[in-house]
Amino acid sequence: MKRSNVAGVLRHPNFELVEADPLTAELAPLLDGIDVVFHEAGQPGIRSSWADGFALYNELNVNVTQRLLESVRRRPVERFVFASSSSVYGRASRYPTNERDPTEPHNPYGITKLAAELLLSLLAGRDGSGRGSHCGTHRRRGEAGGVGVLSGLVAVNPDW
């Protein structure tokens, strides 16, 4: 993650930057006082996700998501937003795709992003509504981008 992507928010008096490895850090305490989580962490790219690269993609796209979701279960938030990828659609029958189109990833990267979405949908169903009112997924087109956070995890305090 590039520091230039967070340059503006670094100057905000209520912003605290916590740099931690989401695979090993204790995530639940970082959610204290947090209402909204934007989950942007993950390993982007398709080419490197094949063969020996798959283990890293699984760790950073699936396992980090699972750890964060388990932390959210212990420290509930009002909203959880996950940045997915258009790679979950594979070779779509039409473009642009929309959220209701079938997901048929054709590469390991897309599979890991879809697995993370499915984990999120399990958490969303636990609120009893059947709609997952506190969870959402946004599927980005392309591999690069994001909101620019160093750890890949942004927590928003609405009192800002």
Cβ 109 vs Cβ 89: under 8 Å: no
Catalytic-role residue among 57, 89, 95, 109: 109
Domains along the chain?
3-156 (3.40.50.720)
**Proportion of the chain above pLDDT 70, given as a percent:** 76
First vs last C-alpha separation in the chain = 24
At residue 150, does pLDDT exceed 50?
A: no
Reported for 92-98, long-range contacts at CB under 8 A and 24+ positions apart, including other chains, are 96/141, 97/139
pLDDT bucket at 34, cuts 50 / 70 / 90: confident
**Which pLDDT score is estimated for 53?**
92
Question: What are the tens digits of pLDDT across the range 66-122?
Answer: 999 999 888 888 888 888 899 999 999 888 888 889 999 999 999 999 999 999 888
**Which pLDDT score is estimated for 144?**
32
Residue 109 known to be catalytic: yes
**Which pLDDT score is estimated for 15?**
80
Backbone angles phi, psi at 140, to 5 degrees: -85, 150
More confident residue, 145 or 31: 31
- Mean pLDDT of all residues belonging to the chain: 78
Helices within the chain (DSSP H only) = 7-10, 54-57, 64-74, 108-125
pLDDT bucket at 64, cuts 50 / 70 / 90: very high
What pairs with residue 140 in β-bridges? 85
